[in-house]
Each structure stands twice: as C-alpha cells, then as structure tokens.
Amino acid sequence: MVSYIDILYIQRYFFGKKILMIPYDKREGKIWYNNSLENWQDIKLHVLSHGLHYGSCVFEGLRVYDEEIFKLEEHTDRLFHSAKRMDIKIPYSKDEINNASKKIVSVQKVQNGYVRPFVWRGSEMMAVSAQNTKIHVAIATWEWGTYFDQKLKLEGIKLNISKWKRPAPDTIPWDTKASGLYMICTLSKHEAERQGYSDSLMLDHQGNVAEATGANIFFKDKNNDLHTPIPDSFLDGITRRTVIEIAKSKNINVHERKISPNELSGFEGCFLTGTAAEVTPVSKIADHNYKVCEIILDLSKSYEKLVRKKKGCLIFIIFRNCVIYPFS
C-alpha cells in the first residue's frame, strides 16, 4: 500500500515542487532502538542527553535501492570507525547492526529510500566528561527520493562559496561522521539557500577546494580527465570511491590532488557525489559556469545501473490512487 508519505515523495520527485512534508516525529511505523522494534512516535530522547548538548553522536546515511541497502558493510565499518574515534564503544557487533538495518528496511517495507543508523551518549552525566553514559543505538528508515530537486539535478545545480572552512585535521576527528562536524555545513547550506543557490562549496583550512556541505566534488577538464580534492581534512565518501572506480573502469584519468579556487574557471564540468546526492551535475559555482557534460551524465547512468539490480518503475498519481508501470 502506498502511504500519504510516499505520495508526497512521488509528487516532489516527478513534479519538482516544494511541498510540505510530514514531520519526522509524526510518521508511522517502527524504529530499531537499542535492539528492539519500537513504535515510531513512541521513541523518547531525554532533553539532558549528552549527545544533544555536547555533540557526542555519530551516524551514517545509506540508500535503499529496490529493497536492498547499497554498500551496507562499508557504511557499518565507517560507523564503527567514527564511534571509535569519538571514544564511543558500540554495544553491538557489526553483524548485529547489519542485520538490524536489513530487518528495519523489511519491516518498514522500504523499496527506495534512506537508512539512518546513529549512536549517541545518554543522560547519565551532564558535563564535558561522559565516561559513564549509556551508549544508545537506533536505526530508522523511510522512503526517499532525490536530495536535490529533480529538474535542477538534470540542469545542474548552483553553488556559492561558503565563508566557513573545513577545520585543520589536527583540530577535529575529521574522518568521521560525527554530528558536531555538520554545524558549519548547516550554516553554509542555509546561507546558500538564502542567496538562491542549492548548496555551498567549502574550502579547507589552507584555502583549497574541499567539498560541498554533504557531498564530495569532482571537476572535468578539457581532456576529459577528472580532478577531485585529496580527502585529508574531510570525509572520503563511499560514493566518491565508487565513482572513482567506475571512472577508472572507463579508462578515465582521475587526479586526486590539491585544487586551488583559482583553477575553477579552467574546468569545463563539475559534479557532486554522495549517498544522498548520488551523482549530481553542477552548472555554476559563484561566477564560474560549467556544462553538464556527456561524461558526467554517463557516470551518473553507470552509477544508477550499479545501484539498481532490478527493473525500475514509473509511477503515476491519479488523484488519490497510485498506479505502477514497470519498464526495462
């Protein structure tokens, strides 16, 4: 059965309109919470939880394609790496987290969506030190479409350049998905949206190109070579690595190197990669314009082919009814 949430998702996906979504705390179903399936709206988080006040929380974001979680093991490995870097011991094994992720996707009947496992310190202590706090783990999943507006994604999105920079690697646990690291990403994203952009390009502490607020970045030169920043102060994305593998399989040269903002005008194409962003063309960064090149579209199609094992489906909405027609 297609829920009202699904219909909202489908409308946004196909018509590219901004619509009101049901708040996440008002949705229905189950959430895997500390090794138990709990009712979605019954989940409680105490206001004095350490993770809420001090940022002692790590998480992952995974995609579900055709009822299967893409790169589940890699994401779980990174979740445990992030937790270890944050001095958090997850009270479950990797296999238990993998199985729990699969279970909640099955219970929620998610076909194409998003999975969010997260780990945080509880409310036993309220101070900088949190040695004796309980470690909580939850996994939620829901149907989800594209991160960026579908029409903009086809035309190429526009980025500004953020005033915020990725911190030096000796000042933060930079190679983790820790919640506190996203504070300046939110500030950058809000600033970009207020200026009419879809996202923001962030530089690193040395002033070189780093990443977007939630995605890695690539550039294409006149020789059809790809250039992407070295992830030495920001997350080396799983989608980033996947796209590099796809590019190399097509005999496309990929240069991982320091990229100065002065080089932006010399590239012909640009795109973002990420679990949420997938492969998204960029048409503009500040005053620099880029073409949605054939090589970028081809990489996007190849990525789509990799993640989808089954036939796709084209969905039409007729008032309150939803009819699904398969296509090859």
pLDDT, one tens digit per residue, over 171-221 is 999 999 999 999 999 999 999 999 999 999 999 999 999 999 999 999 999
Considering the domain architecture, whether residues 157 and 104 belong to the same structural domain is answered as no
Higher pLDDT, 3 or 103: 103
Considering the domain architecture, whether residues 176 and 122 belong to the same structural domain is answered as no
Q: Name the pLDDT band for 145 (thresholds 50, 70, 90).
A: confident
Out of 14-23, 43-52, 62-71, least confident range: 14-23
pLDDT of residue 319: 27
Domain count, the chain: 2
Whether 34 is covered by a domain: the verdict is yes
Distances (CA, A) of 276 to 21, 42, 54, 220, 308: 17, 27, 26, 21, 15
pLDDT of residue 154: 79
**Residue 314 pLDDT exceeds 60:** no
Amino acid letter for position 251: N
Of 158, 177, 189, 220, catalytic: 177
Q: Does the pTM of the predicted model rise above 0.85?
A: yes
pLDDT of residue 241: 98
Amino acid letter for position 303: Y
Q: Name the pLDDT band for 297 (thresholds 50, 70, 90).
A: very high
Residue % of the chain over a pLDDT of 70 = 87
Considering the domain architecture, whether residues 87 and 157 belong to the same structural domain is answered as no
Choose the final residue of a domain: 128, 143, 158: 143
- Which residues in 39-56 are b (16+ Cβ under 10 Å) and which e? ebeeeeeeeebbbbebbb
Considering the domain architecture, whether residues 180 and 196 belong to the same structural domain is answered as yes
Residue pair 203/217 in contact by the 8 Å Cβ criterion: no
Q: Name the pLDDT band for 132 (thresholds 50, 70, 90).
A: very high
pLDDT of residue 310: 63
Tokens of 85: 């870097």
**Residue 50 pLDDT exceeds 60:** yes
Whether 273 is covered by a domain: the verdict is yes
Whether 327 is covered by a domain: the verdict is no
pLDDT of residue 199: 97
Higher pLDDT, 18 or 25: 25
Considering the domain architecture, whether residues 266 and 179 belong to the same structural domain is answered as yes
pLDDT of residue 19: 52
Cα radius of gyration rounded to whole Å, the chain: 20
pLDDT of residue 147: 67
pLDDT of residue 272: 98
Residue pair 243/273 in contact by the 8 Å Cβ criterion: yes
Considering the domain architecture, whether residues 21 and 110 belong to the same structural domain is answered as yes
Considering the domain architecture, whether residues 209 and 61 belong to the same structural domain is answered as no
CATH of residue 120: 3.30.470.10
Out of 142-151, 189-198, 294-303, least confident range: 142-151
Q: Name the pLDDT band for 156 (thresholds 50, 70, 90).
A: very high
Is 248 labeled as catalytic in the residue annotation? no
Whether 317 is covered by a domain: the verdict is no
Residue pair 82/176 in contact by the 8 Å Cβ criterion: yes
Considering the domain architecture, whether residues 162 and 117 belong to the same structural domain is answered as no
Considering the domain architecture, whether residues 280 and 172 belong to the same structural domain is answered as yes
Q: Name the pLDDT band for 21 (thresholds 50, 70, 90).
A: confident
Instruction: List the domain range (segments joined by +) for residue 240.
Output: 150-307
CATH of residue 192: 3.20.10.10
Considering the domain architecture, whether residues 224 and 261 belong to the same structural domain is answered as yes
Considering the domain architecture, whether residues 95 and 163 belong to the same structural domain is answered as no
Considering the domain architecture, whether residues 155 and 266 belong to the same structural domain is answered as yes
Average pLDDT, the chain: 89
- The β-bridge relationship of strands 30-33 and 312-318 is unpaired
Higher pLDDT, 328 or 172: 172
